[in-house]
Structure 1
C-alpha cells in the first residue's frame, strides 16, 4: 500500500505540473485543481458491522498516508446506519450532501433506489464512489469490488466438494436488494440447479447482521434434521452459521464455507468450525475508496470498475492469531 501511495503522490504532482496519468482525461491545457489544505470524505456502509469496520480502518489508513505524502489533511467521516435500512441510509446520504463534503463513498443497500440522491451529489460537484455495491450500467460512477457472481460460484463449488455434490442445502441470504449479496445468491442457485442430486430445502435472510444470522441458522438446523450444508452470501452469515452449528453440536455434520475475514470468523476457523472462507478483500476496498476520491478531487477520471480480486482464508493463516485481513 505504501508503494501505491508513493505512486499516487508522484502521479498527483505530475498532474499538477501538466502531465498525463494513464486513462485520465486531464491534459496540460485543462484547469488543474490545486491541492487544498483539507479534505473530508464521508463513508456510508450498509450498517455498523465488523466487516465495514475493516473497510473504514483501511480507508482511514490510506487517508493518513496520502495526507503525509501530498501535504494535506484527509479525514474519513464514517457514518454507519444502525441496521440495513434503506430509508435510514438515504437520510444519511442526503445529510452528507448538505454538508458539502469533498467526496462520498457508499455501499448502497439498493443502488437503484438511491440513484437519484447519488446523481444529486454529482450535480453539486461532489465526487462519489460506490464500494461493494455495483454501479448501474451507464451511471458513470466508479465502483470498487470484486466479481461477486464469480465469488458466489467459487463458494458454491467449494461447498459442493464438501458434500460430494449431493445433498440438502439451505441458503442464508443477506440484504436482498444489495447487489453483492444478490449476485452471490444468483451464482449459488445457478450452480446448484446443475446438480440433480442437490436440493435447496430452506432459505432465509440475515440482513448482514450476525445475531439475525445465528437465529435464522438455528431455525434451519432445527427444521431440517438431515441438512447437509448451509450456503451464505455475506460477512455476517458465516459467523452466525458457525455459532449456530457449535451451539447445536453439529460442527462437521453440516458443512459451510465462509465469506470474508472478520475477526469473529477467524476465531471460529481457529476453533475448527470451518476450513475455508472466500474473502472480498475489504482492506483493499477501503484503501481504494480513499484513493479514488482523492484522484477525482485532483481532476482525474477514475475507472468505472476497480476490481480488488478475491482472497482465500485457510486455517494455517490464522493458527497463530488473527490476521489484519485482505
Structure 2
C-alpha cells in the first residue's frame, strides 16, 4: 500500500507541475480530458470491482473525467452497443476489453477510424492488434498463462482437471482452459469444461453433479474468482480439500484466505488494479502531451501459491486494490 501511495503522490506532483506547462503551451488541461471505459465485466464481479477501483483512483489523481460502462451481465452484444454509444460522443480516449472480437471488431475499427486513441485492457491483446490497436494493458496471453498453470499441475502429478467457465462466450476464458489443457497434454493429462452461470448456487450445484459423475477428477480449476468464491465454501462443506485440488485464475479476499489456510493450491494474480489505473494515465498523457507507450504493459500473472504470499497482499485485496 505504501508503494501505491508513493507512486500516486509522485504522479500527483508531476501532474500538478505539468498542468501549468500545458496551460502555458496552449495544450489540453488534464481536467478537460474525457475518457470512456467500456468493458465486458459487470461491476458485481469481484475481479472487475478492482479494475474499477484503479480507474477511480487514476481519475481522482489526474482530475480527468472518466466514464465507465459495462453490461449488467456478460453480454458482448450489449458491450458493442455501449462502445458505439461511447464513440459517438468523441471522447479523448477509450479503454476497452475485447472478450469477443467478432462482436466488437466493427465497433473497435469505427473508433480507430474516428481517430480516437484506444487502449485494450484485460483481454484481447492479439485480437486488438489485428483490429489496429497498438496498446494493451493486462496479463501475458491468456493461453500462455493457462499453459504455465497446466505445466505446473503436470509436475505435481495432477492430470485430470475440470475448468469451471462462468462466462460462456468469453474467448479469454476459453483460451485459459485451452492453455491449461495443452500444458497438461504432454504428461498425458487434459481438461474438460463445465459451463455454469455466475450464480453461486448454480456453480456449486453443477460442480457437485460433475464431480459425482467423474470420480477420477483430480482438480477443479475456476476460470475466475466469480467461480472460485462459491467453490471454497462448497469444498469445505463437502470436505473435499485434501481429496480434490482447487485452483483459480484471478484472486479475491476469499481466495487468499483459503490459500492462507492451506486449502487452495494457488490463485493467479492478474494485478487488475493496474488495468484500470494505467489506461487512464496513458490516455490523459496522450491528450495533454501526445505521449504514447511503445510497448504493452503486462500486469501478470503471478502465482500466489503459499500462505506467506497470500498474507502479504490480503490487506490490499480487502481494500479493493489486489
Q: Normalization by structure 1: what TM-score?
A: 0.79
CA deviation digits over 1:143-180, x for unaligned, max 9? 11121233212322333344x244x3222235454343
Determine helix, strand or coil for the equivalent of 2:221: strand
Map 1:249-288 → 2, pairs under 5 A: 249-288=239-278
2:138 to 133, 137, 145: 145
Map 1:213-228 → 2, pairs under 5 A: 213-228=203-218
Q: What is the RMSD of the two structures over their aligned residues, measured on CA atoms?
A: 3.2
Determine helix, strand or coil for the equivalent of 1:324: helix
Cα 1:84–1:52, aligned 2, differ >3 Å: closer, same or farther? same
Cα 1:212–1:5, aligned 2, differ >3 Å: closer, same or farther? farther
Query: Which residues of structure 1 form unaligned runs of 5+?
Result: 19-30, 68-72
| Matched residue count | 304
Conserved? CA contact 2:154–2:183, under 8 Å? no
1:140 Cα deviation after fit: 2.7
Query: Which residues of structure 2 form unaligned runs of 5+?
Result: none
Map 1:89-168 → 2, pairs under 5 A: 89-135=79-125, 136=127, 137-138=129-130, 139-147=132-140, 148-162=142-156, 164-166=157-159, 168=160
1:312 to 292, 303, 316: 303
1:288 Cα deviation after fit: 1.1
Cα distance in 2 for residues equivalent to 1:211 and 1:43: 31
Q: Normalization by structure 2: what TM-score?
A: 0.80
Instruction: Name the stretch that deviates more: 207-216 or 117-126.
Output: 207-216
Map 1:12-161 → 2, pairs under 5 A: 33-48=27-42, 49-65=45-61, 67=62, 73-135=63-125, 136=127, 137-138=129-130, 139-147=132-140, 148-161=142-155
CA deviation digits over 1:173-204, x for unaligned, max 9? 354543432332221111222122x354x421
**Partner in structure 2 of residue 3 of structure 1:** 7
1:220 Cα deviation after fit: 1.8
Determine helix, strand or coil for the equivalent of 2:186: coil
